[in-house]
Amino acid sequence: MNAEQEIEHLKCLIIGSGPAGYTAAIYAARADLKPVVYTGIVPGGQLTQTTEVDNFPGYPQGITGPVMMEDFRAQAERFGTEVRFGYATKVDFSKDGGIHTVVIDGTKTVTADTVIIATGATAKWLGLESEEKYNGFGVSACAVCDGFFFKGQDVAIVGAGDTAAEEATYLAKLCNKVHMLVRRDEFRASKAMIHRVLNTPNIEIHYNTETQEILGDGQVVTGVRVKNNKTQEENVLDITGFFVAIGHTPNTELFKGILDMDETGYLITKPNVTATNIPGVFACGDVQDNVYRQAVTAAGTGCMAALEAERYLAAKESGE
Ligand code: NDP
């Protein structure tokens, strides 16, 4: 770094711009913490990659993900949040609750009294061209978000972990039939979840089955071509919805060896709060939640993080 370069100091730095980051910003700005949000490479987060959002309270007619995130951003800015396009590339957190340092885009250094991490998680995809083509038009990585659109229809879900099992049983309540595509001859999910799947009559499990191609009419999904990896037999299933539930990757690479995380990389926060193992560093949204992963729960923990940051600063300033 150029010695003459002035380092900007903030009371509250928020990394990430999904529902958690923007909600934290709304609360922090209203508490006069003058927050700065660095958006990351996907401003607005995962919701900008979906179409309709029907389950966020306050939008009785539903709203598209990108428009909703523009609303979040506008609300945060209305109270003075500064939203900047930029990606945190290095962090140096002070273990004793001193000043934290974050490098943006490898070039700009910012210091902050409090840092709120809202970097989210990224859904894993199969990597098929047809999956990308129909994403949002029959292909989804969130059954709870999009299952409703397939009410009474036949759908498929790929995956065999707890998420896939949970989402398959969720879809089975709404849909006529759920084809569950399991690549091995067994599940990875817990016994209780497997039991639930096996006891749901309208879930048909296809073991040793891999997805070859998602079929469509150019507009929406009409089927899926699958292959049995034991017999090599190919088959087409007539479906209108294709759900991918093969796991998520929390965006925590940057914090490895610095913040406590579980074996899959989710940040660990203290019970019932958003505090991490470093004083003044808080985590909210999907980056610390592998169970609910909803916009509304992310927003809820974003609010918690900002309130906790405010209290942390107040206690520090009063010398507690
Ligand atoms: P997991 O990593 O546990 O499971 C991913 C599943 O997707 C595996 O069955 C895997 O198959 C399959 N898969 C991966 N890649 C492919 C592919 N390319 N093609 C086909 N299948 C593929 O992820 P989850 O999201 O299910 O769970 C993550 C964590 O969250 C777990 O610890 C889980 O227990 C927890 N969780 C807990 C819940 C609860 O308690 N209610 C709910 C949801 C999640 P294979 O088995 O062959 O590797």
Model pLDDT for residues 263-286, shown as the tens digit of each residue: 999 999 999 999 999 999 999 999
Question: Which H helix or E strand runs over 180?
Answer: strand 177-181
Q: Which atom of ligand 1 is nearest to the CA of 165?
A: 26
**Cβ partners under 8 Å of residue 200, min gap 6:** 168, 169, 172, 178
Tokens of 46: 């995962």
Distance CA(82)–CA(291), nearest Å, equals 31
Q: Ligand 1 mean position to 200 CA, how many Å? A: 19
Distance CA(252)–CA(293), nearest Å, equals 16
Q: Ligand 1 mean position to 189 CA, how many Å? A: 7
Nearest CA to ligand 1 atom 30: 290
Q: Which atom of ligand 1 is nearest to the CA of 159?
A: 7
Ligand 1 binding pocket (C-beta < 6 A) is: 126, 158-164, 166, 183-184, 188, 246-248, 290-291
Confidence of residue 228 (pLDDT cuts 50, 70, 90): very high
Q: Residue 179 in contact with residue 156, Cβ under 8 Å?
A: yes
Nearest CA to ligand 1 atom 15: 246
**Cβ partners under 8 Å of residue 111, min gap 6:** 7, 8, 9, 10, 99, 100, 101, 102
Q: Residue 283 in contact with residue 267, Cβ under 8 Å?
A: yes
What dihedral angle (degrees, nearest 10) is formed by the CA atoms of 237, 239, 243, 245?
Answer: -30
- pTM of the prediction? 0.81
Q: Which atom of ligand 1 is nearest to the CA of 124?
A: 15
**In this predicted structure, what is the pLDDT of residue 40?**
93
Distance CA(16)–CA(69), nearest Å, equals 12
In which residue ranges of the chain is CATH 3.50.50.60 found? Answer: 3-122+248-317, 125-244
Q: Ligand 1 mean position to 270 CA, how many Å? A: 25
Nearest CA to ligand 1 atom 4: 161
CATH of 3-122+248-317, one of 3.40.50.720, 3.50.50.60, 3.30.1490.20, 3.30.200.20: 3.50.50.60
Tokens of 167: 């989402």
**In this predicted structure, what is the pLDDT of residue 145?**
84
Q: Nearest CA to 120 among 205, 210, 38? A: 38
Q: Nearest CA to 21 among 42, 41, 44? A: 44
**In this predicted structure, what is the pLDDT of residue 47?**
84
Q: What is the pLDDT of residues 181-224, one digit of tens each?
A: 999 999 999 999 999 999 999 999 999 999 999 999 999 999 99
Q: Over range 47-54, report the average pLDDT.
A: 76
Q: Nearest CA to 300 among 288, 310, 312, 311? A: 288
Tokens of 5: 């370069």
Helix and strand element counts for the chain (H, E) = 7, 19
Confidence of residue 95 (pLDDT cuts 50, 70, 90): confident
Q: Over range 80-93, report the average pLDDT.
A: 97
Class of domain 125-244: alpha beta
Distance CA(91)–CA(147), nearest Å, equals 39
DSSP string, 9-27: EEEEEEE--SHHHHHHHHH
* Residues acting as catalytic residues: 142, 145-146
Q: Residue 273 in contact with residue 201, Cβ under 8 Å?
A: no
Q: Residue 193 in contact with residue 166, Cβ under 8 Å?
A: yes
With a cut of 80, say whether residue 1 has pLDDT above it: no
Distance CA(113)–CA(96), nearest Å, equals 12
